[in-house]
Structure 1
Amino acid sequence: MPESKKRKPVTATGEAAAASAAQRPSPRWWAPTMVTLMVLGLAVVVVTYLTKGGYPIPGLGNWNLAIGFGVMIVGFFMTMRWR
């Protein structure tokens, strides 16, 4: 009686490699950078409100709020990749 074909061993390529790469822990600098960006953005927003748009970058006015919120959003997006 003929033997059936042997199955090939599964290798870590394609989706399996991507899944294992996604499970790796974050680098040591990831969490401090994430928290720093969120706190820095908050500080920019608070300073902008306290000085009525005069600081931290004079001349931009209330665009300082957009910069502060943008920095905070980058920090919050970093939380999605943190392991």
Structure 2
Amino acid sequence: MPESKVRKSVTNRRRRERGSAAALKSPTSRRWVPPVFITVGLLGVAWLVTYYISSTTGSTVPLLTDLGDWNILIGMGLMASSFVIATLWR
């Protein structure tokens, strides 16, 4: 049985898809992303742990006592920003 002919629109669409995939590639290396998002995430965890330990033991850390409950927002914000940075990794 003879094979059917390939339509021009299908071949043109495939060529365009190949060209657009090459255009979407990132021109720069993103090797900096994993160390940065791990560092920022661990910094957020360390901030929260330090705040929690200093508030339960009664010891005073000058910056942490001045910020009060904003420390929770800072720690959570650092951890959330690490997830945002992680989306940049390819």
Q: Which sections of structure 2, spanning at least 5 residues, go unmatched? A: 1-8
Residue 47 of structure 2 aligns with an amino acid whose one-letter code is: V
| 1:45-76 C-alpha deviation (Å, 9 max, x unpaired) | 10111111854533111111110110110001
Is the CA contact (8 Å cut-off) linking 1:25 and 1:82 kept in structure 2? Answer: no
Select the residue among 73, 76, 79 that pairs with 1:72: 79
Larger Rg, first or second structure (1 or 2): 2
1:29 equivalent in structure 2: 32
Separation in 2 of the partners of 1:26 and 1:63?
Answer: 36
Equivalenced residues, count: 74
RMSD of aligned residue pairs (Cα, Å): 3.1
Residue 21 of structure 1 aligns with an amino acid whose one-letter code is: K
SS in 2 for 1:58: helix
Separation in 1 of the partners of 2:82 and 2:34?
Answer: 9
Separation in 2 of the partners of 1:46 and 1:61?
Answer: 14
Deviation at 1:29, TM superposition (A): 1.1
Separation in 2 of the partners of 1:64 and 1:44?
Answer: 8
Structure with more relative contact order (C-alpha pairs < 8 Å, separation 6 or more): 2
Q: Which sections of structure 1, spanning at least 5 residues, go unmatched? A: 1-6
Instruction: Give the structure with the higher percent helix.
Output: 2
- Normalized against structure 1, the TM-score is what? 0.66
- Normalized against structure 2, the TM-score is what? 0.61
Is the CA contact (8 Å cut-off) linking 1:37 and 1:71 kept in structure 2? Answer: yes
Select the residue among 30, 50, 53 that pairs with 1:50: 53
